[in-house]
Structure 1
Amino acid sequence: MATFNKKRWVLYLRIGAAYLLFLLFIDLVRHPETVLKKMVNNAWMVIYLVVMNYILFEYTIPFIRLRWTRMLATPFLLFGHLILASFGFYAWRHIGVASGICFSLKTHPSLEKAVEYSVPYSFFSMLFFGVIRYTYDLRKLKQTAQRLRIEKQEAELNFLKSQTNPHFLFNTLNNIYSLTRDKSDLAPESILRLSKILRYMLYEAGGEYIAIEQELKIISDYIALEQLRYDESLLVNFNYYIGDMKQSLPPLLLIPLVENAFKHGVSETRNRPFVDIHCSVNNQQLQFIVKNSTETLPADGSLKENIGLANLRRQLELLYKEFNLTVQQGESVFTASLQINLKSHV
């Protein structure tokens, strides 16, 4: 059996107020001369209807649904509500008139006629309360489902970010390790650049958005760090055209494409390695194209995305409604192209 719920009771009081306003509108149209007296009578009757419908929808119906064995009690419960809706409704009205709370605007020749007159009002109130109550519950259910869906997506997005950041950091540490193993004089500079990247990841990339100029800066720092590993044979071209450098963007969203170009492209290229990066944002339409040299072609001609690109694609699905991420493997060039409608953020 359900216990008394204060919030649900407030809901029925609000439905009762709406029902009273509905009756007031009807009386204004049909009986404007007695509208004040009828408003007093209706207010008294609505008190009864609120209690009756609260019992019906919050206790009786849930009790019947709870177990199939309780279906045996259904006829008695329904009969009890029939009594409440007919004789009970009439008795409540009679109490109001007898105590001077209500006005006796209509007399009936017999008890049966009085009850017959009252029954349609009771059953209409059940329909009124039932429709609004179930509509309200359905809307709340949809809101709860929507909230749970958003929470699930946020949890998944945070998990993907937690994978991306260590993955990015691990690859950067590998680059520094290769320099220290060769006892390169560039190792100290690489550590300094890594500290800048770590500072960015710890203190600036924790929010939901950053300015795109910050994302471009971390890309530049990462490119400079990668270039320390290679001699002058590596050609890097990084150009961008941004209408508004304060345009917001989720942090570290673009870096996986750049990281992919160095890890799976340049590092595996023996002759004339290059990376070509172009970024533009115009009217909140972002275009980010990364081309890199490659010498590896799948034997079967298929193209499989690594974990970095797969995570990026899933992040985009959770963040934006309108985007397009394509990758193309040529004979000596790998191209990753990303277009995002920044206004389509979920």
Structure 2
Amino acid sequence: MKLLSGIKRSELYVWLVPAFLLLNLLGSIAGHSSQLLPRAVNETWLACYVSVLNYRLLEHTIPGMSLKRFFRSFLLVLPYFFAYSLGIFLWRAFGVGLHIYTVLDNTLTTDKRIGELTGYSIGSIIFFGVIRHLFNYIKLKQSAQQLQIASQQAELNYLRSQTNPHFLFNTLNNIYSLARDKSDLAPESILRLSKILRYMLYETSAPYAAIEQEIKIIDDYIELEKLRYDESLHVNFNHDLEDRKQSIPPLLLIPLVENAFKHGVSETRDRPSVTIHLSVKNRTLLFTVENSTGELAENNKVKENIGLSNLRRQLALLYTNYSLDVQSGDFTFTATLKINLDSHV
């Protein structure tokens, strides 16, 4: 684990060291246009020293320091005062002795030379420290965003895991009613339920599904619900789509349809009805579900069940531009969902 951590830290220096060297080369060449090759070798020699020193300081020494251990921290950083001043001077002298470093100016005294090299070292600390801080800040921000995305995805999966059993529970109740009455429609209802289950098992794990698949599931669910009622139930499902292949999150629309039957039609004694309209134009989805109820508007207060509450939260996680409005009228309840599909998070 420590080895992997060291590799990740060193990735920054793969491009940071050449950038520092190039910056100093350009500055040296700008100030002195002659003897370009010796100056380039000199800058490379010094850059090697301060790069290793900065890596040790920034990645190993400073992270181990703390105010609680002030004396120990002071002892850790004390050698660097000498390394960045006298140490770099000795490194230069070592390069001269190996005939790697070329002395281009003999007029400077030893004190001034040490001062000049110390300034060079301090400049390198500032350069490496600032870039490292920015790099870590960007990495931290990216990690926070990834963590937020993962958290939102986990919450979205949780909401779907609540919605799906809720949806299946109501459907199984319908089939149970038919089976209890020994209805000949029970086999057909089981067949339609198997289609819904197949879709939920194999299609809803993906983040998107074609809208035509959602329409098929809504059709199957409507037909499954109609099996419970006689011909007095009137259902009108119409849709106007520019592209039947365009994608939306799976099972996003079914909670409104389910709500219309469970909390509307089932409580309507006289001429129960459901009217559903779906349109997608210019990447704007409009889904309206109107169902009959058994009460007047003044008594028909809006009560948001788990289906509607979960749907609102899913929309908040999935889109930035949407609206979900519910209204109660005299013996009617209307839910209107509008989504800008381009506003997907």
TM-score interval, smaller chain: over 0.9
Q: 1:6 & 1:192 partners in 2: Cα distance?
A: 57
Partner of 1:325: 324
In structure 1, the gaps of 5 or more residues are none
Structure 1's consecutive aligned runs of 4 or more residues displaced over 3 angstroms after TM superposition are 1-4, 73-79, 296-302
Q: Secondary structure at the match of 1:69?
A: coil
Deviation, structure 1 residue 109: 4.7
Residues paired across the two proteins, number = 344
Partner of 1:129: 128
- Is 1:344 equivalent to 2:340 in the alignment? no
Deviation, structure 1 residue 37: 1.5
- Is 1:191 equivalent to 2:170 in the alignment? no
Partner of 1:248: 247
Cα distance change, pair 4–145 in 1 and its aligned pair in 2 (3 A): closer
Stretch of structure 1 that moved more, 336-345 or 2-11:
2-11
Partner of 2:32: 31
Percent of aligned pairs with the same amino acid: 56
Partner of 2:231: 232
- Is 1:140 equivalent to 2:133 in the alignment? no
Stretch of structure 1 that moved more, 266-275 or 187-196:
187-196
Q: In structure 1, give the amino acid aligned to 2:159.
A: L
- Is 1:200 equivalent to 2:199 in the alignment? yes
Partner of 2:334: 335
Q: Secondary structure at the match of 2:304?
A: coil
Deviation, structure 1 residue 301: 7.1
Q: TM-score of the superposition, structure 1-length normalised?
A: 0.94
Q: In structure 2, give the amino acid aligned to 1:107.
A: N
Deviation, structure 1 residue 343: 1.0
Stretch of structure 1 that moved more, 23-32 or 83-92:
23-32
Partner of 2:63: 62
Deviation, structure 1 residue 303: 2.5
Task: Indicate if the aligned counterparts of 1:41 and 1:102 stay in contact, CA closer than 8 A.
Answer: yes
Q: In structure 1, give the amino acid aligned to 2:216.
A: K
Task: Indicate if the aligned counterparts of 1:108 and 1:114 stay in contact, CA closer than 8 A.
Answer: no
Q: 1:344 & 1:325 partners in 2: Cα distance?
A: 15
In structure 2, the gaps of 5 or more residues are none
Partner of 2:210: 211
Q: Secondary structure at the match of 1:183?
A: coil
Q: 2:234 & 2:301 partners in 1: Cα distance?
A: 28
Cα distance change, pair 316–54 in 1 and its aligned pair in 2 (3 A): same
Tell me the alpha carbon deviations over residues 268-292 of structure 1, each in whole angstroms, 9 at most, x when there is no partner: 0111111000000001100000000
Q: 2:118 & 2:106 partners in 1: Cα distance?
A: 16
Q: 1:309 & 1:301 partners in 2: Cα distance?
A: 16
Cα distance change, pair 282–44 in 1 and its aligned pair in 2 (3 A): same
Q: In structure 2, give the amino acid aligned to 1:81.
A: Y
Deviation, structure 1 residue 112: 1.5
Q: In structure 2, give the amino acid aligned to 1:217.
A: K
Tell me the alpha carbon deviations over residues 18-67 of structure 1, each in whole angstroms, 9 at most, x when there is no partner: 100111222232222222221111111111011111121122212222xx
C-alpha RMSD of the superposition: 2.0
Q: 2:335 & 2:62 partners in 1: Cα distance?
A: 59
Cα distance change, pair 236–37 in 1 and its aligned pair in 2 (3 A): same
Cα distance change, pair 174–17 in 1 and its aligned pair in 2 (3 A): same
Q: 2:64 & 2:164 partners in 1: Cα distance?
A: 53
Cα distance change, pair 59–33 in 1 and its aligned pair in 2 (3 A): same
Q: 2:204 & 2:7 partners in 1: Cα distance?
A: 44
Task: Indicate if the aligned counterparts of 1:2 and 1:58 stay in contact, CA closer than 8 A.
Answer: no
Task: Indicate if the aligned counterparts of 1:236 and 1:274 stay in contact, CA closer than 8 A.
Answer: yes
- Spell out the pairing of 1:248-327 with structure 2 (5 A cutoff): 248-296=247-295, 302-327=301-326
Q: In structure 2, give the amino acid aligned to 1:212.
A: I
Partner of 1:177: 176
Q: 2:231 & 2:115 partners in 1: Cα distance?
A: 99
Task: Indicate if the aligned counterparts of 2:300 and 2:328 stay in contact, CA closer than 8 A.
Answer: no
Tell me the alpha carbon deviations over residues 246-277 of structure 1, each in whole angstroms, 9 at most, x when there is no partner: 01111111000000000000000111111000
Q: TM-score of the superposition, structure 2-length normalised?
A: 0.94
Task: Indicate if the aligned counterparts of 1:24 and 1:35 stay in contact, CA closer than 8 A.
Answer: no
Deviation, structure 1 residue 87: 0.5
Q: 1:128 & 1:198 partners in 2: Cα distance?
A: 60
